[in-house]
Structure 1
Amino acid sequence: MNYDVSSPEYREAYRMAERRVKAKIGFYWHLASYVIVNGMLIVIYLLTTMPVGGLYYPWFVWPMLGWGIGLLFHFLGVYVFASNNSPAVRQRMIEEELRKMGTPVPPPGVQWPNTGYGQANVPDPNREQKY
């Protein structure tokens, strides 16, 4: 294993680890706000709808359900499908799409074209601009 912190592989691995940690912390904050806010909704329900004969319609379940669906998708994105966002997975998906289109896939070691996907499309200063 290469532990040279100045190597591009290490920097890329560090960047990916940093992104995963940020996503996990974001999920924890989302979960904490879900628990606190929905806990407050339940307390409001209990304090305002206590009749003598029992409880009224539990309206708080609807915000809990809607927000819970969003929280579930956030969890899935952070913990279940996180590996689908790596450069290697994207590269395999591009190769698969090229094969489906009947386009030959460059062999390993050949430089892929830089399309600017995920980057700002900055014009090449060495290329003549046509207006």
Structure 2
Amino acid sequence: MPPPYTPEEIEHLARRRAGAKMGWYIHACVYVFVNLGLFAMSSHGFGTRPWSVFPVLGWGLGLAFHGISVFLLGRGSAFRERMVARERERLQREQERR
């Protein structure tokens, strides 16, 4: 079990998590609006083929990795905290055996 956080640590962690999530939401909104514009350009005469799929896929991959880093692997995420707790318990068991 992790040690309890002080009120200052809770505030700092909450602001940090909220900032990271807000950054991802802004990234996602920019992605949607820019790619809608690119799709409109692609389908209304700027090129003979639908080229807008390439930025959608490339940038979409970057957006997915950004989301994984924020929601799954970010400091304080439930997934990461469970992994840290498991490792802490494993290390404590190894130390007790010695």
The answer to whether residue 22 in structure 2 is matched with residue 28 in structure 1 is no
What's 2:6 paired with?
Answer: 9
- Aligned-partner Cα distance in 1 for 2:41–2:27: 21
Greater relative contact order structure (CA < 8 Å, 6+ sep): 2
Indicate the percent of aligned positions where both proteins have the same amino acid: 36
TM-score by length of 1: 0.53
CA-based RMSD: 2.8
What's 1:72 paired with?
Answer: 64
What's 2:87 paired with?
Answer: 93
| TM-fit CA distance, 1:47 | 2.6
TM-score by length of 2: 0.69
- Aligned-partner Cα distance in 1 for 2:39–2:15: 36
Instruction: Give the letter for the 1:31 counterpart.
Output: A
| TM-fit CA distance, 1:10 | 1.3
Task: Report runs of 4+ in structure 1 exceeding 3 Å deviation.
Answer: 88-96
Q: Which structure has greater helix proportion?
A: 2
Q: Which runs of 5+ in 2 are unaligned?
A: none
